[in-house]
Structure 1
Amino acid sequence: MQTDAEVVLPWDGRNHYLAAVYRTDLADRVDTLVGAGERKMSALVDASDALRIVMADSRPLTNVNSAAGLHAPMQPGR
């Protein structure tokens, strides 16, 4: 799939900003937002041409914070 979107954002009922793909030409927009005191990734996405990709199976987006979490069985869906 090809797109002209500036951000491609996985979504499964919530946005997954760390798993998104961002165009490098957004760097100036990031600088402007940070300079204005903005720190939320949602502000960048809202200020960009974003394409949300619906992830019916959210297992690939599972957040792992420990070795135990890495080996825990993943449940289908959420």
Structure 2
Amino acid sequence: MALTVEAAELQEIFQWLTPEEAADIASKPEAHQHLGEEVADVLMYLVQLADRSGIDLEAAVERKLLLNARKYPPPPQA
């Protein structure tokens, strides 16, 4: 549940921003720091969930990248 709350707090940062404002968030030190803090919160809960569930995160990511590459191959080059 805490992971969901933290993910919502991360999403809230972008909720009312235009795409241009979101892309430019790094130029605003206070907003960028807040973004980093929320990303860190999400990551910490996610790592804790994986650890307690016995999931090897590196292996899970590698497998998921392969599955995604098969499911969503790049478009053919013209």
* TM-score exceeds 0.5: no
Bigger proportion of residues as helix: 2
TM-score, scaled to structure 2: 0.29
The higher radius of gyration belongs to: 2
Bigger proportion of residues as strand: 1
